[in-house]
Amino acid sequence: MLESIADRALNSEVSLSGAKLVDNEVEVWWKNKASPGRFSPFWLRDHCHAKQSLNPETLQRQVDTFAIPVDIAPAELQISDGGRALRIVWQHDGSISLLPAAFLWRIAQDGGRDTAPRRRLWDRAVMAQALPTMTHADIMSGSEGLLRWLSMVEEYGFALASGMPPTIEATEELVTRIGYVRETIFGGMWDFTANLAFKDTAYTSAAIGPHTDGTYSIDSPGFQLFHCLKFDGSGGESTLVDGFKVAEQIRRTDPMAFEILSTVRVPAHYLGDGVHLRAEHPVIGLDHNGDFVQIAYNNYDRAPFRLPTPRMNAFYRALKLFNQLINDPANEITMRLAPGTALLFDNWRTLHGRRAYQGFRRLCGAYLNKEDFDSKLRVLRAGAACAAA
Ligand SMILES: [Fe+2]
């Protein structure tokens, strides 16, 4: 019988004490006396973990879902392997399904959905004490250090790595500990000074207001890492704002503005350098539960679009409120990125900007896809749970 790594971690803790058919559902009881779980017979056959049903190498489904009779029913329900599995003999063909207790427990708890990210919203006051930071040595020392650092990024939307060697090679090594470097029109790992190599304000020394990157990308970069390799001048502090905190502030205080910012899909574009990228995102992206998924805001890159005048006016009013709040010093933290300190932030949550500067600055960094960051965090968490079990 196969198990995912997440279920393996639960294995020693969860076991079944009984099962019976109730109103055409299979009801299972747990030894820990938690409320019984109920599953449809069709679903149980579809999720059979016997190796002819689930590929042992890839954990891909091998059951022919569409050959399962719609009125499938169990002939026998047995608890096997000392409570670690449910064994079902099916009435229609006598075949046997096996389902691990830990798997059934996990599905009974979360319905097979990802649990909500662990987040703590912040403003300047919350961050007054200390910024989430770990040393490069601790992050690179093993899975446990990396897990702690990525968990900080999940919780706060950013974290710093101190004590870095001030080189592009060390920066790339840190990025690739998390996932692969995302290729974009700017390349993979980038390394730039104010040279106007691209048609983008990021390549000048002017101040840049708080924004998220890649509003013109259908799948905006999930994470970005900056590392200042050399700075000889004045100004140039980086600014960060918790976009989810600002969104929550608007939800609480101005429901009309919140409705507009979370429903109007704002087009954005990148024109030049031989490309024409275009995508649409609401400023405040929500999931079906109303939880925050993505902030997408870059007033520089907003593409022309028009709504009926009353709605357009309401949109401008809402956008002005959002812009006011992200520029409110109470919501903003500032830091000077110095050689040896890298900043990793969630580009779907944390807005970033930069004060104007004079002098020479060399900054390198990379984008990471959201799915690769999330994958690494899941793998590290499951590994840590297995080690603890
Ligand atoms: Fe940016």
Sign (positive/negative) of CA torsion 65, 70, 73, 77? positive
Instruction: Walk along the chain (389 residues) in steps of 10 and give the mean pLDDT of each run.
Output: 56 86 97 93 97 91 96 97 96 96 94 89 96 97 96 98 96 97 92 62 76 98 96 90 98 98 98 94 96 97 98 98 98 94 98 90 95 96 85
| 304 Cα: distance to centroid of ligand 1 (angstroms) | 20
pLDDT at 18: 96
| 352 Cα: distance to centroid of ligand 1 (angstroms) | 6
pLDDT at 196: 44
pLDDT at 273: 82
| 299 Cα: distance to centroid of ligand 1 (angstroms) | 12
| 143 Cα: distance to centroid of ligand 1 (angstroms) | 29
| 212 Cα: distance to centroid of ligand 1 (angstroms) | 6
| 135 Cα: distance to centroid of ligand 1 (angstroms) | 25
| 376 Cα: distance to centroid of ligand 1 (angstroms) | 24
pLDDT at 334: 96
pTM given for the model: 0.90
| 204 Cα: distance to centroid of ligand 1 (angstroms) | 12
| 311 Cα: distance to centroid of ligand 1 (angstroms) | 29
> Strand, coil or helix: what is 161?
strand
Structure tokens at 236: 């140039």
Average pLDDT in the chain? 93
| 41 Cα: distance to centroid of ligand 1 (angstroms) | 51
Could you tell me which of 142, 162, 169, 336 has the C-alpha nearest to residue 237?
336
pLDDT at 339: 95
d(CA 198, CA 107): 49
pLDDT tens for each residue of 123-139 = 999 999 899 999 999 99
Structure tokens at 361: 């600055």
pLDDT tens for each residue of 111-126 = 998 888 889 999 999 9
pLDDT tens for each residue of 194-229 = 654 455 555 567 899 999 999 999 999 999 999 999
| 94 Cα: distance to centroid of ligand 1 (angstroms) | 61
pLDDT at 359: 81
pLDDT at 9: 55
| 307 Cα: distance to centroid of ligand 1 (angstroms) | 27
